[in-house]
């Protein structure tokens, strides 16, 4: 069996070679190969990754971390890998932690494992208060959307087992960490968080993802909303739709009763108009829910086809 260690990189010539060189050649009996997705670097990142022995796929320009993840995922599927670990190229993650992170997945005790910076207070990284607060809020939101407790939703140090490789999907261009967690949880795959000591801040340069916190927060929420409503369209559209219709009907019934008994809707004209507006808006939301439900069904069929094809390729290449 084979494990792919996949690393997205953007202008990481200072650290990329050191990171690759520290990756074990084997992990719990599986042969390790390294892939670097060079996401539009303008320095010597790609050349240094080649020198360190990694395969390199280069994007012609910076496409975003989410796109880099899809490139890594496609490579792992097409090459028949059983497992895929992802880690950053900036040196914040220690490759020596890969055995602990991969162990539950390779031993089939989990379908997906992720390093957790905040699960064990003794391993809490040294980082600014605002980042810690933001990570805690994101983890709480992801936990609610995924219906499972998550301590660290933004760490990219992860391992995907065969089922996760077959079934996971990601559509965001900007990032993938929160979206993938929700997607995996919604699909009923087993998630394991591993408390891990991780460097809180980059040693060289600034974060490529979280340098602008407001932009990061906005795009992350957009990605989380997209995947969550894709899995549960009636929860996101149907529930408020029927609530609005119910309130609108009550307002209009009250207005109608007032007109029948008093011969005029005054002074409750606004109630009648408001009720009609709420009913109309509720009906529109029901239409949105129906369309989203059809889209979700199509997505599930495509994901099932992808899973079958991934298994077929793996079996063909490993026999």
Last residue of a domain, which of 231, 258, 277? 231
Pairwise CA distance, residues 194 & 184, whole Å: 16
Residues 30/80, Cβ–Cβ less than 8 Å: no
Do residues 217 and 268 share a domain?
no
Closest by CA position to 49, among listed 79, 10, 86: 10
Residues 306/166, Cβ–Cβ less than 8 Å: yes
Of 41-50, 144-153, 165-174, 221-230, minimum mean pLDDT range: 221-230
Do residues 35 and 102 share a domain?
yes
Predicted local distance difference test score (pLDDT) of residue 239: 86
User: How many other CB atoms are found less than 10 A from the CB of residue 128?
Assistant: 11
Contacts of 125 (CB under 8 A, 6+ apart): 117, 197, 198, 199, 200
Do residues 121 and 196 share a domain?
yes
Last residue of a domain, which of 231, 260, 295? 231
Tell whether the model's pLDDT for residue 208 goes beyond 80. no
Tell me 5's DSSP state.
Answer: E
Do residues 262 and 157 share a domain?
no
Residues 199/115, Cβ–Cβ less than 8 Å: no
Do residues 128 and 45 share a domain?
yes
Predicted local distance difference test score (pLDDT) of residue 224: 72
Q: Bigger pLDDT: 203 or 110? A: 110
pLDDT tens-place string over residues 51-100: 999 999 999 999 999 999 999 999 999 999 999 999 999 999 999 999 99
Residues 128/48, Cβ–Cβ less than 8 Å: no
Confidence label for 167 from pLDDT (cuts 50, 70 and 90): very high
Do residues 227 and 303 share a domain?
no
Predicted local distance difference test score (pLDDT) of residue 244: 94
Q: Containing domain of residue 300, as a range?
A: 233-317
pTM of the prediction?
0.82
Pairwise CA distance, residues 32 & 95, whole Å: 12
Pairwise CA distance, residues 294 & 307, whole Å: 20
Which domain CATH number covers 94? 3.90.550.10
Residues 115/97, Cβ–Cβ less than 8 Å: yes
Confidence label for 16 from pLDDT (cuts 50, 70 and 90): very high
Encode 141-163 in three state secondary structure: HHHHHHCCCCCCCCCCCEEECHH
Last residue of a domain, which of 231, 255, 287? 231
Pairwise CA distance, residues 266 & 143, whole Å: 48
Predicted local distance difference test score (pLDDT) of residue 123: 86
Do residues 264 and 124 share a domain?
no
Do residues 113 and 254 share a domain?
no
Instruction: Indicate the average pLDDT of the chain.
Output: 89
Do residues 140 and 206 share a domain?
yes
Do residues 23 and 72 share a domain?
yes
Tell whether the model's pLDDT for residue 198 goes beyond 60. yes
Do residues 188 and 307 share a domain?
no
Average pLDDT over residues 185-200: 91
Predicted local distance difference test score (pLDDT) of residue 200: 67
Average pLDDT over residues 9-33: 95
Q: What single string gives the DSSP state of each residue in 164-176?
A: HHHH-----SS--
| Per-residue b or e along 22-43, where b marks 16 or more CB atoms closer than 10 Å to that residue's CB | ebeeebeebebbbbbbbbbbee
Residues 50/26, Cβ–Cβ less than 8 Å: no
- List, in sequence order, every beta strand (DSSP E) within the chain: 2-9, 26-27, 30-39, 55-59, 83-86, 112-116, 158-160, 191-195
Q: Bigger pLDDT: 206 or 90? A: 90
CA distances from 141 to 75, 154, 157, 224, 258 (A): 31, 12, 20, 9, 44
Residues 236/229, Cβ–Cβ less than 8 Å: yes
Tell whether the model's pLDDT for residue 210 goes beyond 60. no
Count of structural domains within the chain: 2
Q: Where are the alpha helices (DSSP H) in 199-238?
A: 213-231, 233
Do residues 153 and 111 share a domain?
yes
* Mutual angle of helices 239-262 and 269-317, in 10-degree steps: 160
Confidence label for 218 from pLDDT (cuts 50, 70 and 90): confident
Pairwise CA distance, residues 271 & 173, whole Å: 44
Average pLDDT over residues 91-115: 96
């Amino acid at each position: 069996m084979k494990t792919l260690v996949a690393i997205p990189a953007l202008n990481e010539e200072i650290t990329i070679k050191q990171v690759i060189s520290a990756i074990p050649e084997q992990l719990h009996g599986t042969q390790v190969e390294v892939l670097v997705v060079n996401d539009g670097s303008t320095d010597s990142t790609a050349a240094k990754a080649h020198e360190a022995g990694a395969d390199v796929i280069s994007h012609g320009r910076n496409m975003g971390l989410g796109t880099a993840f899809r490139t890594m995922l496609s490579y792992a599927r097409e090459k028949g890998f059983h497992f895929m670990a992802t880690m950053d190229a900036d040196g914040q993650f220690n490759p020596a932690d890969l055995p602990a992170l991969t162990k539950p997945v390779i031993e089939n005790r989990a379908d997906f494992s992720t390093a957790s910076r905040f699960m064990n207070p003794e391993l809490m990284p040294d980082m600014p208060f605002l980042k810690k607060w933001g990570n805690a809020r994101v983890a709480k939101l992801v936990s609610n959307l995924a219906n499972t407790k998550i301590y660290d939703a933004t760490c990219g140090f992860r391992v995907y087992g065969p089922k996760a490789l077959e079934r996971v999907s990601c559509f965001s261009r900007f990032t993938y960490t929160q979206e993938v967690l929700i997607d995996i949880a919604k699909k009923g795959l087993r998630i394991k968080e591993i408390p891990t000591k991780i460097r809180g801040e980059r040693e060289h340069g600034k974060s490529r993802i979280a340098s602008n916190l407001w932009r990061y927060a906005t795009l992350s929420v957009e990605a989380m909303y997209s995947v969550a409503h894709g899995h549960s369209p009636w929860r996101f559209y149907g529930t408020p739709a029927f609530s609005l219709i119910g309130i609108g009907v009550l307002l209009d019934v009250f207005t109608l009763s007032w007109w029948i008994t008093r011969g005029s809707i005054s002074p409750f004209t606004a109630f009648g108009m408001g009720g009609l507006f709420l009913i109309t808006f509720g009906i529109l939301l029901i239409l949105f829910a129906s369309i989203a439900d059809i889209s979700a069904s199509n997505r599930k069929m495509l994901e099932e086809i992808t899973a079958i094809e991934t298994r077929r390729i793996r079996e063909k290449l490993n026999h």
